[in-house]
Amino acid sequence: MATIGPQLRKAREAKGVTISEAAHKTKILPQILEDLEKDDFKRMAAPMYTRGFIKIYSEYLGLDPEAMLAEWAGEEPAETRETPEQPSAGRRWRLPPWIRNLPANIRFGRFAKKKLTPRLRLTLIIASAAAVLVLLLLLILSSCGASRGIPAETALPAERGSNLIAPPPEVYLEGPDTVRTDIRTREGGEAPE
């Protein structure tokens, strides 16, 4: 019975792609794909990830992912196979360990093990003082009413005539069917102002 590694390698070679091309398309690291093709599952983080990698890679290669997973599950040694935890009859759920151990971690100073360097301590003091000063300044400005005042009306600039645009020509109605325009120009081609 052939293991899944050589089957994956043969399918990849039949498809005519390299490991790096397959890694790019599947978004799986090339090293992991090589491990899958060598049947080396020891370096995988957890069986759950291995299942996901096998499923994605076999789908990409056009193989049946369920058959590949079933074959892999039969090959996997019992000590590396993931066994789901059975809830106890008395207690159906438990808090995560980091929450359960939080009081002990705080009490015994696990979070306080890192000491502040003098430079970091000085930086924190200066930053705290600056934050307090900014808050005080905002409090003073808001209590003085500077932000509540209505701005005084501002005078609009006086309209000035523009010398760049000539006034439109005067239009005269002489009769029901005729319109006469009077356009006068100065010497040099400028329109009168």
How many Å apart are CA 48 and CA 46, to the nearest integer?
5
User: Judging by beta carbons within 10 Å of its beta carbon (0-12, 13-18, 19+), is residue 8 exposed, middle or buried?
Assistant: buried
Residues 4 and 38: beta-carbon distance below 8 Å: no
Which residue is it, tokens 């059975």?
86
Structure tokens at 178: 């005729």
Task: Tell me the pTM.
Answer: 0.40
Instruction: Supply the CATH classification number for the domain 4-75.
Output: 1.10.260.40
What integer pLDDT is reported at residue 112 of this predicted model? Answer: 54
Which residue is it, tokens 């209505």?
150
Question: Per-residue confidence of the chain (193 residues) as pLDDT tens digits?
Answer: 458 889 999 999 999 999 999 999 999 999 999 999 998 888 787 888 889 999 999 999 999 999 998 888 876 544 444 555 555 555 566 767 666 666 666 655 555 556 667 887 788 889 999 999 999 999 888 887 654 555 555 555 555 655 666 666 676 666 667 666 655 655 555 555 5
Structure tokens at 43: 């370096």
- Dihedral angle over CA of 115, 120, 122, 125, nearest 10: -90
